[in-house]
Amino acid sequence: MARRARSVTVAALGGPLAAGSVFVLILVALLAVMSRADWPVTFGAADWAVLRFTVWQAVLSALCSVVFAIPVARALARRQFVGRTFLVTLLGAPFILPVIVAVLGILAVFGRAGWVSELLGLFGLPPLSIYGLEGVVLAHVFFNMPLATRLILQGWQAIPSEQYRLAGQLGLPPRTVFQTLEWPMLRQVVPGAAALVFVICLTSFAVALTLGGGPRATTIELAIYQAFRFDFDLGRAAILSLVQLVVAGTAAVLALWILPPLVLQSGLDRPLQRWDARGAPCRVLDAIWIGLAALFLLLPLSAVILSGLIGLFDMPISVWTAAWTSLWVGMLSTGLLILWALPVAAWLGQTKRGGAEAITLLGLAASPLMIGTGWFIMIYPFASPQAFAMPVTAVVNALVALPFAVRILVPGMRQSFTDYSRLNQALGLRGWPLWRIVLLPRIRARLGFAAGLTAAMSVGDLGVVTLFADPDVATLPLQMYRLMGSYRTDAAAGAALLLLVLALGMFWICDYWGRYAET
């Protein structure tokens, strides 16, 4: 009995503790901001309009991203082709680009003076205009569809290949295979992916503003920015942050609550073969989806690369030192994230309540400006905030990446526990040996992906907490914005390319480490 109790405590205590620390980090920041606020705070009709737009664009973006991601993930799951690994790695790319770089890349393709418009011009057609809700959704799909694809792809890969073999032996038609094997998986994976994208889009503001075409495309995050920066109305900033947290929290709980109970089957990790998808129409359809997704991703990315190549030799030396700093921040954040995410994922993998995962999503829904300001207020009376620049940046980066990591890890963790819990108990495996022998090898691919995503996100992050920034220690994205802010567009484009290479490189190393285990 005692033995069992101890093995339970690690996950049952460490998990809630790690997940709870997210809550505490945000709550402390919020309370600190509130402590300096002037009350009462106004929340008027204009704010309601902003809230409506924010939620609406996030819902649309999440739906479009996921709906587009399902056929792409399905095609990627059942086809092998040259460049598949490359494409799957590239799926991490849009997500980590600084907003302004990605937006300019998208506009180089879909803008008024973009490639598509030029093509239309050849046929005497008017140029494309994407400014408005459609532009916002387009950009959000560009950012998040790849992520959703990766998450859903993992769901597909979690279906044991033995089941497809069985389906093939029984000669089941594709429709039946979909109903019995794929649909239950989708019901399990899609709501979580959609919730994640929804929360990401909820806090977006530079994208919404730039492509939204004007003040009608205002999100709550802009109102928070305005309250902190221009009005210094901390009460209003706190209330708006709270509204954002409540909306994101509600959405997350709803999405994760409807996850159906799991009926997992275990397999022998054989390579996947699909007997049901051998027909020519199936192949053509898959090729079209993969081609469309590749074009949608590759065209804007090539625009970023092309403009960056010109500026690569124009970059001042400080860009390279900034790249070094970013590399450090990325590694620090990734290490921290792994220590944070593993216990949380192990805990969530053992509970039946999917709703608990919603706590981690709050880290993404909290305005970085709010967290930064809150912790600045907390630290300032005792020490120079600049001394905490690195730890705070790493913590906040890990906090933002945690929901991604958890969403990626939990399904694998849950499956490992379901499959091996009896064997573990019979063998008395617990603590470190349990992790080393059973859990880590089985979630290695997912851990690699999660770590890669965190590393890339931290490298691409614009020092979430510019309040803490030391002017001599700039990160690469910050340096890029500085170049851009002083007319040095070419050099900034070069820095953006370097950023892309660095972030993708770190992503690739981690992801490769994870997937290397599969073969």
Partner 1 sequence: MKYLMTTAAMLSASAAWAETPVLTVYTYDSFVSDWGPGPAVEAAFEATCDCDLQFVAAGDGAALLARIKLEGARSDADVLLGIDTNLVAAAKETGLFAPHSVTADYTLPIEWNDDTFAPYDWGYFAFVHNADMDAPANFRDLAASDLKIAIQDPRSSTPGLGLLMWVKAAYGDDAAGLWADLSDNVLTVTKGWSESYGLFLEGEADMVLSYTTSPAYHLIAEEDASKAAAAFDEGHYMQVEVAGKLAATDQPELADAFLSFMVTDAFQSIIPTTNWMYPAVTPASGLPDGFETLITPEKALLLSPEDAAAARDEALAEWRDALAQ
Q: Are 247 and 59 in contact (CB under 8 A)?
A: no
Query: Out of 95, 198, 228, 508, which residue is the one contacting partner 1 (CB under 8 A)?
Result: 228
Give yes or no for residue 339 binding partner 1 (CB under 8 A). Answer: no
Q: How far is the CB of 36 from partner 1 (least distance, A)?
A: 8
Q: Does 375 bind partner 1 (CB under 8 A)?
A: no
Among 15, 71, 94, 111, binds partner 1 (CB under 8 A): 111
Contacting residue, 115, 131, 178, 275, with partner 1 by CB under 8 A: 131
- Does position 404 bind partner 1 by CB under 8 A? no
Could you tell me if 78 and 272 are in contact, meaning their C-beta atoms sit under 8 angstroms apart?
Answer: yes
Q: In this structure, what token pair is assigned to residue 44?
A: 């008027």
Contact between 225 and partner 1 by CB under 8 A: the answer reads yes
For residue 229, state whether it binds partner 1 (rule: CB under 8 A).
yes
CA 324 to mean position of chain CA atoms: 23
Select from 23, 56, 81, 380 the one that contacts partner 1 (CB under 8 A).
380
Does 214 sit near partner 1 (CB under 8 A)?
Answer: yes
Distances, alpha carbon 181 to alpha carbons 198, 263, 285, 299, 476, in Å: 27, 11, 20, 34, 45
Q: Counting contacts by CB under 8 A, is residue 384 touching partner 1?
A: yes
- Contact flags string 306-325 toward partner 1, x per CB under 8 A: ----------x-x-------
Judged by CB under 8 A, the number of residues near partner 1 is 53
Does residue 222 bind partner 1 (CB under 8 A)? yes
Which residue in the set 164, 205, 375, 417 belongs to the binding site for partner 1 (CB under 8 A)?
205
Rounded to the nearest 5 percent, the helix, strand and coil shares of the chain are: 80, 0, 20
Single out the residue of 62, 70, 76, 107 in contact with partner 1 (rule: CB under 8 A).
107
Return the number of the residue (204 or 415) whose C-beta is nearest partner 1: 204
* Contacts of 82 by beta carbon, 8 Å cutoff, 6+ apart: none
Nearest to 331 by CA among 456, 172, 436: 456
Is it true that the peptide bond before 40 is cis, omega within 30 degrees of 0? yes
Two tokens, residue 428: 């008395």
Minimum Å gap between C-beta 53 and partner 1 is: 10
- Whole-angstrom Cα distance, residue 501 to residue 315? 15
Task: Tell me the angle at which helices 358-365 and 2-35 cross, rounded to the nearest 10 degrees.
Answer: 30
Q: Which residues of 433-463 are buried (b: 16+ CB within 10 A; e: fewer)?
A: ebbeebbeebbbbbbbbbbbbbbbbbbbbbb
Taking CB under 8 A as the rule, does residue 103 contact partner 1? yes
Cβ proximity to partner 1: between 319 and 356 the closer is 319
Kindly state whether residue 469 participates in binding partner 1, applying the rule CB under 8 A. yes
138 phi, psi to nearest 5 deg: -55, -50
Spatial separation of the C-alpha atoms in residues 16 and 28, rounded to whole Å: 18
The SS3 of residue 420 is helix
Interface with partner 1 includes 466 (CB under 8 A)? yes
Considering the complex, what minimum distance in angstroms separates the CB of residue 308 from partner 1? 13
If you search the block for the tokens 């020092």, which residue do you land on?
463
What residues contact 278, with CB distance under 8 A and at least 6 apart?
none
Residues 454, 403 contacting (CB under 8 angstroms):
no
Closest distance to partner 1 from the beta carbon of 107 (Å): 6
The answer to whether residue 481 forms part of the interface with partner 1 (CB under 8 A) is yes
* Interface with partner 1, residue 347, by CB under 8 A: no
Binding site for partner 1 (CB under 8 A): 36, 46, 100, 103-104, 107-108, 111-113, 131, 205-206, 209-216, 222-223, 225-226, 228-230, 232, 316, 318, 373, 376-377, 380-381, 384, 386, 466-467, 469, 471, 478-479, 481-489
